[in-house]
Amino acid sequence: MEAAKSLRIVGGFLALLGVVSLLVLLIACANVAGLLIARATRRRQEIAIRLAIGGTRARLLQQLLVEGLWLAVLGTTAGVGLSIVFMRVMNSLTLPFPLPIELHLAPDLAVFLCAIGVVILTVLLCALLPALHATRLTLVPALKQEEPRYIIKRFTARGVLLTGQVTVSTMLLVTAFLFLRNLTRAHVTNPGFEVNRVLMAQIGFVEGRPDADHPAFLQAAVERARALPGVEEAAYAAAVPLTFYSGSSNGLTARIAGGAHTEHIEFAQSLVGPDYFSTMNVRLFAGREFQTADAPGTPMVAIVNQEFSRRLFKGKNPVGQRVSFAETKFEFEIVGVVANGKHRTLGEEQRPALYLPVRQHADEVRVGFVLARTRGEPAPLLTPIRRAIGELDRSISVTVEPMSSALSFALLPSRIGAAVLGTLGVLGLVLAAFGLYAIVSYNVSRRIGEIAIRSALGASRGAILRLVIRDASLHVGLGLVLGLAVSALVTAPLTTFLAAGLSATDPLSFAGTAFVFLLVSVLASWLPARHATRVSPVVAMRLD
């Protein structure tokens, strides 16, 4: 089961990487298409003259396709080289799973066939269509340098591609901002238990060892750990929240003994030992903790958290009440109520939790944990605790780490999202900025005569800069609005992975994305506009 869980997480990570990479590929293809459209449009006079003097359309198409092919081949070759470097980085990563999972990513025939497919797709979609459009013209409009027909008013094919780039890049950047914010907040989120001064020793029992012996060994390990200088308190458990072994999740119909009312409750279930809550600094609101006397053959007992008590008992004191589950015929007495906390993820809502004593459910224990709260820094006690527990039985495996390190599993989605989406989000932003710069530069070169006339008539450099930036801002603004709207839908399923208090539509992430894009778009538009204002009106008229 643990192996399947690990593989699902790794598979989800690779799927996320694939989807985001596809989005970046779309942005890159839109860049290539925009560049080739601009290049073909710029050569309309040359193409028209060649056609007029007897050149065949097929020959011109061949020439334009070869130019696109060179761009696709060079870009894909560079991409394959970067992917090989990325594979090596991925292979060196160590994932925080209790089972060893190694990534053996290496280029093979399938990778190179995929690269060839990308080249063919790029040529067909990004080179063939502009070539067909550029060679389907008449002589007079081409010699007059009339612009191609607009798709809609003020929107050429280049403008539509630019808008699409900005839309997709906005989605990537919003998600990247969101995961970066989540990673920052997750480090300061209170999980509901002690983290900084707790050591966690994971104990693996050899196969064939009787399950009934596990609690006794864990209790002996706790006594050895508790006797060490610097250890304030120690306890054992079969589940530790926010780790790979965080317990189980159940959905059962609960009924209070002596009553007819039933309540279906979705809750987290954990097996813990005596003094677990005091060791983890989890507040006990009512009743008592588990004791050594809560053993097989004694009445079944349980401890619930505040949320479980609120759902089932509606504000009444649950201590001393007996509860049963209809689906299992399982009945127990509630002996305590503890504070709420996180169980599976840092971003989960407060959920009901049921704690059962390990000794009464020893047959369910496969891996045990000894938890020790220290008086100071826990790091110096790593080796003493490992040695003390290991001396009890040489056949067991013992791994000791600070609780703060053990929670790396809970931070895994945030770290993966921040790394992957952050990198590819910035890459998408850079590609969109280059696309905007290329299109604005092209438009400025087409309007150099108009700009010269405006300058000759007294237009200031500031007015010309505003004119160029205003035209570019139409596509950027529309793409930004569309991207933010789509992002609000795309990020909705990510709520489960976000820290408490952080919404999937986090205003700061959306506002940060908009600010960054506006800043980049102004810079990308300002550079070609600034160059145009420095051209002498006389020279500009001659160039036109």
pLDDT digits (tens, 9 = 90+) for 219-245: 999 999 999 999 999 999 998 888 878
What is the phi/psi pair of residue 392, to 5°? -70, -35
Structural element, H or E, at residue 370: strand 367-374
User: Do β-strands 330-338 and 367-374 pair in parallel, antiparallel, or remain unpaired?
Assistant: unpaired
List the pLDDT tens digit at each of the 544 positions of the chain.
Answer: 444 544 455 555 555 556 656 666 666 666 666 666 666 555 666 666 666 676 676 777 777 677 767 767 776 777 667 677 766 766 665 555 555 555 566 666 776 777 677 667 766 666 666 666 666 655 444 444 444 444 444 456 666 777 777 777 788 788 778 877 877 776 667 788 888 899 999 988 877 667 677 888 899 999 999 999 999 999 999 988 888 788 888 888 888 887 777 888 999 999 999 999 999 999 999 999 999 899 888 999 999 999 999 999 888 889 999 999 887 777 899 999 999 988 887 767 788 999 999 988 887 777 889 999 998 888 889 999 999 998 888 888 888 988 887 777 676 766 666 777 777 777 777 777 777 777 777 677 666 667 766 776 777 777 777 777 777 777 778 888 888 888 888 777 666 666 666 777 888 888 888 888 788 777 777 777 777 666 655 555 554 4
Output the six-digit token pair for 220: 């002996």
DSSP-based three-state secondary structure for 271: strand
Q: Summarize pLDDT for 200-220 with one digit per residue, the tens.
A: 999 888 776 676 778 888 999
DSSP symbol at 334: E
| Residue 524 near residue 437 (C-beta atoms within 8 A) | yes
**Cα 228 to the center of its chain, rounded Å:** 41
pLDDT value of position 187: 66
Query: Which amino acid is residue 410, in one-letter code?
Result: A
CB-CB neighbours of 5 under 10 Å: 13
| Residue 74 near residue 149 (C-beta atoms within 8 A) | no
Distances, alpha carbon 395 to alpha carbons 205, 213, 362, 382, 493, in Å: 8, 14, 19, 20, 44
374 Cβ partners below 8 Å, 6+ apart?
A: 197, 198, 199, 230, 231, 232, 381
Structural element, H or E, at residue 267: strand 262-272
d(CA 449, CA 539): 9
pLDDT value of position 353: 93
Which residues lie across from 254 on neighbouring strands?
Answer: 263, 325
Structural element, H or E, at residue 353: strand 353-357
What is the number of alpha carbons within 13 Å of residue 420 lying toward its C-beta? 19
Nearest to 417 by CA among 93, 182, 171, 86: 182
d(CA 292, CA 288): 12
pLDDT value of position 13: 53
pLDDT value of position 287: 92
Nearest to 371 by CA among 455, 277, 465: 277
d(CA 63, CA 67): 7
d(CA 235, CA 263): 32
d(CA 159, CA 472): 9
d(CA 237, CA 403): 14
Please return the burial class of 266, using the count of CB atoms within 10 Å of its CB with bins 0-12, 13-18 and 19+: exposed
pTM: 0.64
d(CA 183, CA 509): 13
pLDDT value of position 480: 85
Sign for the pseudo-dihedral over CA of 245, 251, 253, 255: positive
Nearest to 411 by CA among 419, 399, 423, 401: 419
Q: Please, what is the end-to-end C-alpha distance for the chain in angstroms?
A: 71
DSSP-based three-state secondary structure for 98: coil
d(CA 217, CA 365): 12
Angle ∠(346,188,177) on CA atoms, nearest 5? 75
Distances, alpha carbon 78 to alpha carbons 19, 85, 115, in Å: 20, 11, 11
Output the six-digit token pair for 157: 């094919």
DSSP-based three-state secondary structure for 264: strand
Output the six-digit token pair for 343: 């169980």
- Packed helices 57-91 and 44-52: angle between N→C axes, nearest 10 degrees: 140
